[in-house]
Amino acid sequence: MQETPQNLAGKCAIVTGGSRGIGRAVVLELARRGANIVFSYAGNAAAAEETRASAAALGVEVRAVKANATDPAAAPALVDAAKELGGVDILVNNAGITRDKLAARMSAEDFEAVIATNLTGAFLMTKAVLRPMMRARAGAIVNLSSVVGLRGNAGQANYAASKAGLIGLTKSIAREVAGAGIRVNAVAPGFIATDMTDAMPEAAREATLAQIPAGRLGAPEDVAHAIAFLVSDDAAYITGQVLAIDGGMSM
Ligand code: NAP
């Protein structure tokens, strides 16, 4: 097997929602490339500890912090933890939830809860890292959008709005900070096998699978590899972009 490049050695990355699924794969991939990691989780302490130990076994410093993306104190706490590991070079806004229902039946609370976690949480986290990144005149941020943010999806008006919102956030902030050496990109995964998609009814899974030219679900690692590229210096001239990682689903 090819050796993973140590191209993030000495850097420190914050990953929100790193305990499970895509966030966990991102934590492990960035750690494999030499980055120290601070990751947040909402409440699943057992999963967080498993991810922390697996990443630490790769020989880097890792901190797991229980910090809800909707809590205004979460972002400063994660930045402080990163400063203890040398600063904040990379941010991956990954924490996300779904509360699916057709719009006619969706409560305002369900709409707002998804926007608060997926979109406002990413804004608060980004705002908190920009000052140290601007001081360093360097930094890379990746936001987890979704194919649903590009195409919409029946039953996911709240989720689609949050993921489309993240694209506007990505492009606006990318324009604001490009001159300061900070890059901001988004990825738009398609159907990735995690706890989030396990919760889908079987018929909906089958229907989605039929729309994927590659003929398979994505793995969390498929997303993590693309994010590891986007936060590395190999992507030094890429900013404000949305990279679909979806087996061709959105083309
Ligand atoms: P997942 O398996 O449900 O994992 C979600 C992660 O986020 C967990 O680590 C969870 O922590 C954390 N989290 C949830 N709410 C949080 C909050 N309020 N504050 C802090 N952390 C929170 O999800 P996933 O499938 O890996 O998805 C990760 C991201 O990719 C999401 O933004 C999702 O929208 C996006 N995405 C996923 C897919 C897909 O097909 N799976 C496709 C496109 C985009 P606990 O372990 O403590 O609960």
> Which CATH number belongs to the domain containing residue 215 in this structure?
3.40.50.720
**251 in any annotated domain:** no
* Full residue range of the structural domain in which residue 126 is found: 12-244
Distance from residue 172's CA to the centre of ligand 1 (Å)? 24
Task: Evaluate if residue 79 carries a pLDDT over 70.
Answer: yes
**250 in any annotated domain:** no
Say how many domains are in the chain: 1
Report the nearest atom of ligand 1 relative to the CA of 18: 9
Instruction: Tell me if 195 CB under 6 Å of ligand 1.
Output: yes
Distance from residue 16's CA to the centre of ligand 1 (Å)? 9
User: Hey, what long-range contacts does 210-213 have (CB within 8 A, 24 or more apart)?
Assistant: 211/249, 212/246, 212/247, 212/248, 212/249, 213/247, 213/248, 213/249, 213/251
Rounded alpha-carbon distances, angstroms, from residue 236 to 13, 230, 251? 17, 8, 25
Report pLDDT digits (tens) over 192-202: 999 988 888 88
How sure is the predictor about 66, in pLDDT bands with cuts at 50, 70 and 90?
very high
Looking at residue 198, what is its pLDDT?
A: 87
Pocket test for ligand 1, best of 41, 100, 166 (most atoms within 8 A of CB): 41
Taking the C-alpha atoms of residue 146 and residue 167, their distance in angstroms, rounded to an integer, is: 9
Average pLDDT, the chain: 97
Average of per-residue pLDDT across 10-38? 98
Report pLDDT digits (tens) over 101-157: 999 999 999 999 999 999 999 999 999 999 999 999 999 999 999 999 999 999 999
Give the N- to C-terminal CA distance of the chain in Å, as an integer: 31
**3 in any annotated domain:** no
**5 in any annotated domain:** no
Average of per-residue pLDDT across 75-98? 98
Instruction: Tell me if 111 CB under 6 Å of ligand 1.
Output: no
Beta bridge partners of residue 66, listed in sequence order: 41
Instruction: Tell me if 21 CB under 6 Å of ligand 1.
Output: yes
**4 in any annotated domain:** no
Closest CA to 148 of 117, 189, 185, 100: 189
How sure is the predictor about 1, in pLDDT bands with cuts at 50, 70 and 90?
low
Task: Evaluate if residue 70 carries a pLDDT over 80.
Answer: yes
Task: Evaluate if residue 38 carries a pLDDT over 80.
Answer: yes
